[in-house]
Amino acid sequence: MKALTFAERNRKEISRDPMTLLFGMFLPLLMLWLFSMMAEKMPFDLFTLEKLAPAIIVFSFSFITLFTGMLIGRDKSSSFLMRIFASPMDATDYLIGYALPLLPVALLQLAACYVTALLLGMPVTLDAIPAFGVLVIISLLYIAFGLFFGTFFTDRQVGRCLRFSSTSRLG
């Protein structure tokens, strides 16, 4: 019960941030649409929607990591987390309270990207069902990364940490 009350507070915090909606939902859908338009003009099948949709979904999960880490970092910076530590909640309540509100966001991203891919012409196959399950597990991993980064860094450092980790693969 304590974890659910804490999760409701965190859900409200996440929904108040307009960047969650902009980067978490609209950017992946825009990228999916743009890449599908590029695929129509290319003479070879580089950006097929069957492969592109799950890739965009996994990319959109990186924003969940960012939102989770920044939420915990903000709570640490404002001393809210120190006040919460005085409550009768245990470690499991904290983890559930921070992770539970982000699971519907991940499922919404997943469903929106798949529906958009279907509208753009992705064929309906049975391969999408196990892919959906695997992507739910991957979303839990990204939420856990956000919990990890938010525990050790402030809200400003989380953004820098994620930015450097994503660019270090390119160099």
C-alpha dihedral, 34 to 27 to 64 to 146, nearest 10°: 80
Cβ atoms of 102 and 14 closer than 8 Å: yes
Rg (CA), the chain: 18
Quickly list DSSP for 113-145.
Answer: HHHHHHHTTPPP-TTHHHHHHHHHHHHHHHHHH
Q: Mean pLDDT across the stretch 115-129? A: 86
Residues 3-27: pLDDT tens digits?
Answer: 788 888 888 887 787 777 777 788 8
pTM, to two decimals: 0.80
Distance CA 148, CA 37 (A): 37
- Asked whether the predicted pLDDT for residue 133 surpasses 80, the reply is yes
Percent of the chain, pLDDT > 90? 12
